[in-house]
Structure 1
């Protein structure tokens, strides 16, 4: 095989990887956000499953799942406090 063709193909592949790697960064950020929202919804599900015994129920929607996903356990605790104290 001609070395010029091999070098040309390898250079083209490297260029393609560099271009495609930079264009997928926003999708990676969006994907991480969706994963965090799903984890927040899972946290709220467990809170509702175990909190149902004491009468605690936090609705699972996009806003509460986002708060729980982005803030983690402190966010879930904050939502539980808001539900028990303010929205009683």
Structure 2
């Protein structure tokens, strides 16, 4: 499929959801979970970017992004503790 059509379909769906809204609660939960996963991945990215000075690297995958996204800063600190003390 041509990338133009994929982009057009995705943009159309986004506009449709903005106009109509997401009345279904499960759809909102999925959206909130996706946002939290992205925030968790960004937290891990910045931790890895600034953690190179102290030789700290936590891989960014679904499990670590979930922990840091849903638990926030305490989850990120737990991942750091596991990396430093357990592994």
Moved over 6 A (4+): none
Q: Which has the larger radius of gyration?
A: 1
How much does 1:61 deviate? 0.1
Give distance in 2, aligned partners of 1:60 and 1:86. Answer: 18
* Counterpart-to-counterpart distance in 1, 2:80 and 2:55: 11
1:1-88 equivalence runs, <5 A: 21=23, 24-87=24-87
Distance in 2 of aligned mates of 1:84 and 1:52: 13
- Provide the rounded CA distance (Å) in 2 between the counterparts of 1:33 and 1:43: 15
CA distance in 2, matches of 1:86, 1:28: 37
SS in 1 for 2:60: coil
- Length, aligned pairs only: 67
- CA displacement at 1:25 relative to structure 2: 1.2
Partners of 1:80 and 1:51 lie apart in 2 by 10
Q: CA RMSD in A?
A: 1.4
* TM-score, normalisation: structure 1: 0.72
Instruction: Return the alpha-carbon distance in structure 1 between the equivalents of residues 48 and 84 of structure 2.
Output: 13
Structure 2: where are the runs of 5+ without partners?
Answer: 1-19
Q: Give, in whole Å, the separation in 2 of the partners of 1:84 and 1:50.
A: 16
